[in-house]
């Protein structure tokens, strides 16, 4: 099924190589194929609320909890800030395939990873979490398993 392309993890250059980014650990994060393709070489997008150009979410430096929250049914990701809203819109983080995947994970007790989220939120700064935990909020948001 088409939604499975959202479950394949790829290394994403946070600062794209076309913009001078290097293939070094602090510039790489895991992302699903869909998010990787939609991000492409972008580092900014338009916030739908303010219509201003803002930076996309940076999984190595930005705090996931400050920028995103789950909808009450945990199927949709909500952008809380200009960066969060622009990232949700630009990467289409609520696209049908991702929502379907979240629904399946929810039914299997694997989404959202609230125990992990709360534990890490209390014990660590989200910025101290490995990039696989912070990246690609299309599926899990910050989770220990990311897309794998």
Residue with tokens 């599926």: 139
Give me the pLDDT at residue 33, please.
Answer: 85
Give me the pLDDT at residue 146, please.
Answer: 36
pLDDT one-digit tens code per residue, 63-78? 988 999 999 999 999 9
Using a cut of 0.95, tell me whether the model's pTM lies above it. Answer: no
Q: Work out the average pLDDT over 92-103.
A: 92
More confident residue, 63 or 54: 54
Q: Which residue in 32, 45, 36, 33 sits closest to 13, CA to CA?
A: 36
Q: Could you give the CA distance from residue 116 to residue 95 in angstroms, rounded to a whole number? A: 24
Q: Is 77 left (phi over 0), alpha (psi -120 to 50) or beta?
A: beta
Q: Could you give the CA distance from residue 18 to residue 37 in angstroms, rounded to a whole number? A: 14
142 — pLDDT class (breaks 50, 70, 90): very low
- Report CA-CA distances (Å) from 111 to 32, 39, 50, 99: 16, 24, 31, 11
């Amino acid at each position: 099924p088409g939604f499975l392309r959202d479950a394949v993890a790829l290394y994403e250059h946070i600062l794209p190589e076309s913009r001078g980014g290097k293939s070094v650990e602090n510039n790489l994060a895991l992302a699903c194929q869909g998010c990787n393709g939609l991000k492409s070489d972008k580092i900014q997008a338009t916030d739908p609320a303010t219509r201003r150009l803002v930076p996309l979410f940076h999984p190595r430096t930005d705090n996931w909890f400050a920028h995103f929250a789950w909808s009450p049914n945990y199927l949709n990701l909500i952008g809380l800030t200009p960066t969060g809203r622009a990232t949700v819109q630009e990467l289409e983080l609520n696209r049908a395939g991702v929502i379907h995947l979240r629904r399946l994970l929810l039914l299997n007790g694997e989404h959202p990873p609230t125990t992990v989220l709360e534990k890490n939120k209390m014990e660590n700064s989200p910025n101290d979490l490995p990039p696989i935990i912070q990246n690609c909020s299309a599926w899990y948001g910050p989770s220990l398993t990311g897309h794998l």
